[in-house]
Amino acid sequence: MKLSLLSIVTLIPSTVYAGQIPIIDGIVGGTRNATNRTKPSTFHSSAVTPGKLRYKENSGVCETTPGVNQVSGYGDVSATTSLWFWFFESRSNPDTAPLALWFNGGPGSSSMLGLLQELGPCRITNDSSSVTLNPFSWNNEANVLFIDQPVGVGFSHGDTSTVSTSQEAARDIWKFMQIFFSDSRFAKYQTNNLAIWTESYGGHYGPAFAAYFLDQNAAIAKGTVSGTKMNLKVLGIGDGLTDPLLQYEGYLTYAKSNPYHPLVSATDLARAGNAWSSSGGCRDQIVDCYNSIPEGDVDFTCTRAQTYCNANILGLLAGDWDVYYVPTANPDPYPPDLTNYLSSIASKIGAESTWQESNILIYENFEVAGDWMRNSRPELETVINAGVRTIIYDGDADFILNFNGVEAMVDALDTKFSSLYKSQNFSTFNVRGQSAGMYKNAGTFSYVRFFGAGHEVPAYKWGTLGVGEAAAQMFTQIMRNQSLSST
């Protein structure tokens, strides 16, 4: 059931989770009334040691490749902030292999989704009861560190009122990495190449984190900040929300014409089109958001834009199809749920809290602060211009952050590679001789659209390729400081 804007604003909605983005009162990415916010969680562990890591080594869970080590536990960023991590050594030359950080989106969703549904050393079975070894895991090429953030997400725990913007989240991740590299177990990775990989709301997280890392590195070089520099070399963003003003019109294009089937009737398309372009509509509200100044930790202008646009465009145009994989009706049971499996192994891996896929407390913080509708493209441009190899990728079966919107954002980038990018034609991305997508390279910037992939690109397969095989080729080439190429 699709509700009017008035209904969403005046009712205390129920919440349903499906994928990484909450569904509130039937609206994907809907909003609550700010006056009805849930009270912050204050769960703390008595074992917290601020500024230190606490962990278990080689639990025997997930990564069963002989000789490949794993570590899982907590980084205590403060007395009230414990961030969960799960680290897997590379299956090849771990001491010299790069270190890749992985973050899922939401905001408020656990990075265990990426680990167990997408790109980790093991993959959840379709009955959600166990895992199988993933031959196309990204730790074939790199040491991979999965982090549940902000505090309160996944297995992370503590005061959930401390982070409400992507920039605040970046500060906690910087603190976490300082703690990580100061630990004797992980200090050897300080000089290895570092990469940030993320998806979905990661279109905000990735640019914010990378830009903050670069700023902190510069401050360390000037002597105004003390700490360990981050050897940041790569930023990867999959199906990301970066510039809403450019991306929201993509919902209209994709709903009408995509590689699979129209999503809604002509009547609904017309309604959404009017909601986008009419005076005071979605486009105007996003512009107002871009120009707004928050009142403390609240940005009513941006929150109203999120409420209106998600109710009248994103939610309306999804129709009866799964927003994360449009070939199937809603809800698609794939990828399988992780809750039972993670509950069964929690004590083995050192988890101290009950895992949940997404935390509405975190989502509310970001919603009220207006972070959703903010523009992260300037930060992305800064990172690209700084020489960080950057790749934007998406799946052509994803509606919620569809390739029409993502490509509009990419086409509008203003970087030292933009002219070259615009002069390029798309090339076919072949994997073992099979056409698996379309790509462009320009300097150290690349973009690729994968065929047949939904929102979580590495969770899908195409043709006779294995699940995640095409995404693994992308990851390997980028992590080796190579432009994309066919094989």
Which residue type occupies 464? T
Say which of 200, 358, 376, 446 is annotated catalytic: 200
Residue with tokens 């493209």: 377
Q: Which two tokens stand for residue 235?
A: 């930023």
CB 173 within 8 A of CB 179: no
- DSSP H or E run through 197: strand 194-199
Is there a catalytic annotation at residue 376? no
CB 114 within 8 A of CB 145: no
CB 340 within 8 A of CB 128: yes
Report helix, strand or coil for 210.
Answer: helix
Q: What is the DSSP letter of 140?
A: G
Is there a catalytic annotation at residue 398? yes
68 vs 66: CA distance, rounded Å? 6
Residue with tokens 């040491």: 143
Residue-wise burial string across 140-160, b where 16 or more C-beta atoms lie within 10 A, e elsewhere: bbbbbbbbbbbbbbbbbbbbb
Which residue type occupies 69? N
Q: Which two tokens stand for residue 171?
A: 């500060």
| Entry field: residues in the chain | 487
Beta strands in 314-403 (DSSP E): 389-395
- Helices 202-222 + 377-385 axis angle, to 10: 50
Q: Which two tokens stand for residue 211?
A: 């830009």
- Strand 27-28 and strand 70-78: the pairing is unpaired
Q: Which two tokens stand for residue 77?
A: 């960023």
- The strand pairing partners of 54, in sequence order, are 74
Say which of 59, 398, 418, 446 is annotated catalytic: 398
Is there a catalytic annotation at residue 200? yes
348 vs 226: CA distance, rounded Å? 36
Q: Which two tokens stand for residue 263?
A: 């999503």
Which residue type occupies 52? K
374 vs 402: CA distance, rounded Å? 18
* Burial class of 341 by CB neighbour count within 10 A (0 to 12, 13 to 18, 19+): buried
118 vs 144: CA distance, rounded Å? 13
DSSP of 237-292, one letter per residue? EES----HHHHTHHHHHHHHS-SS---S-HHHHHHHHHHHHSTTSHHHHHHHHHH-
Active site residues: 200, 398, 455
